[in-house]
């Protein structure tokens, strides 16, 4: 029975499964109940500090960040309309490059992101592919405050479909239908066509295919590495969860809930 119990414990607590749950609890609590439960009830002093922090985050930081988010949406829509009727393809792409960076810098302020870049001389260039580990949907925002990318992904409907169509007016992104998503060769061909155009932005890909809790990296899928015509620029993203855990556990929170959690964290430090 002992061997059976140990075997079951090993299956439940294996290294791979840990990567899809929130990171381990911190040694010092950051006054966020989402990182450590029940700590706000340890003592009256802790409860008061937690309540004051709650008021600051939800009644001061959150409204301000929400206004910035609305500003970013308005900037995106206004820029898309401006570029849609802007004459000259080359000039349109050039202005789109800077418009995208401004957009993502505004969005990064929505989470009070503090970002430190290393080895910036190795930024991805046109005709290349940038690959990165994947922790959160905001990974795109973090990377796009320093460089502008073409994104690749499945077409969506509703609000996200509107965002995709709007972004397509500012850069040449690669969107494909759900029925095409499993056709690896078709997606690779679209990527080859993209990188052959000199003015197109570098493609940003997260080869893990899912969000990992930033404690490790899963094996990359090989698809993008089969495109031998394009140089690969690897990027490592490491979040500091002392001020807010950026990991998106999609089994616990939908995207809207996740964004609220990010906008009510102290900050996102990368």
Answer whether residue 196 is part of any domain. yes
How does pLDDT run along the chain (270 residues), one tens digit per residue? Answer: 565 655 545 544 555 555 555 555 555 566 676 555 555 556 777 788 888 888 999 999 999 999 999 999 999 888 888 887 777 777 777 788 888 899 999 999 999 999 999 998 888 888 889 999 988 888 999 999 999 898 887 777 777 778 888 887 777 888 877 666 566 677 778 888 888 887 788 989 888 878 888 777 888 887 778 787 889 999 999 998 888 888 888 888 888 888 898 999 898 998
Question: Using CA atoms, how far apart are residues 148 and 153, in angstroms rounded to an integer?
Answer: 16
Answer whether residue 111 is part of any domain. yes
CB 101 within 8 A of CB 144: yes
Question: Using CA atoms, how far apart are residues 139 and 206, in angstroms rounded to an integer?
Answer: 9
The DSSP bridge partners found for residue 269 are 114, 240
Write out the residue range of the structural domain in which residue 72 sits: 67-269
What's this model's pTM, rounded to 2 decimal places?
0.81
Answer whether residue 43 is part of any domain. no
The DSSP bridge partners found for residue 129 are 203, 232
Answer whether residue 9 is part of any domain. no
- What is the SS3 assignment for 160? helix
CA angle centred on 95, ends 93 and 96, rounded to 5°:
60
Number of domains present in the structure of the chain: 1
CB 209 within 8 A of CB 135: no
Answer whether residue 144 is part of any domain. yes
Question: Using CA atoms, how far apart are residues 257 and 264, in angstroms rounded to an integer?
Answer: 11
Question: Using CA atoms, how far apart are residues 239 and 118, in angstroms rounded to an integer?
Answer: 14
pLDDT of residue 120: 87
């Amino acid at each position: 029975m002992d061997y059976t119990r140990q075997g079951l414990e090993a299956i439940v607590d294996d290294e791979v499964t840990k990567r899809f749950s929130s990171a381990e609890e911190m040694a010092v609590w950051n006054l966020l109940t989402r990182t450590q439960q029940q700590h706000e009830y340890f003592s009256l002093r802790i409860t008061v500090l937690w309540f004051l922090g709650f008021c600051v985050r939800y009644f001061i930081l959150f409204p301000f960040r929400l206004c910035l988010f609305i500003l970013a949406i308005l900037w995106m829509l206004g820029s898309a309309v401006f570029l849609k009727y802007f004459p000259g393809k080359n000039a349109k792409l050039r202005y789109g490059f800077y418009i995208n960076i401004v957009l993502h810098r505004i969005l990064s302020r929505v989470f009070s992101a503090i970002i430190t870049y290393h080895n910036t001389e190795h930024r991805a260039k046109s005709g290349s592919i940038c690959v990165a580990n994947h922790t959160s949907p905001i990974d795109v925002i973090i990377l796009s405050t320093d460089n502008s990318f073409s994104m690749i992904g499945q077409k969506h409907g509703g609000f996200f479909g509107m965002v995709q169509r709007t972004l397509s007016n500012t850069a040449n992104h690669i969107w494909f239908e759900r029925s095409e998503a499993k056709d690896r060769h078709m997606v690779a061909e679209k990527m080859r066509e993209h990188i052959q155009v000199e003015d197109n932005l570098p493609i940003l890909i997260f080869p893990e295919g899912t969000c990992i809790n930033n404690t490790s990296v899963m094996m990359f899928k090989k698809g993008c590495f089969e495109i031998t015509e394009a140089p690969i620029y690897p990027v490592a993203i490491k979040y500091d969860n002392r001020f807010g855990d950026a990991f998106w556990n999609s089994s616990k929170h939908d995207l809207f809930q996740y964004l609220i959690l990010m906008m009510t964290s102290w900050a996102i430090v990368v």
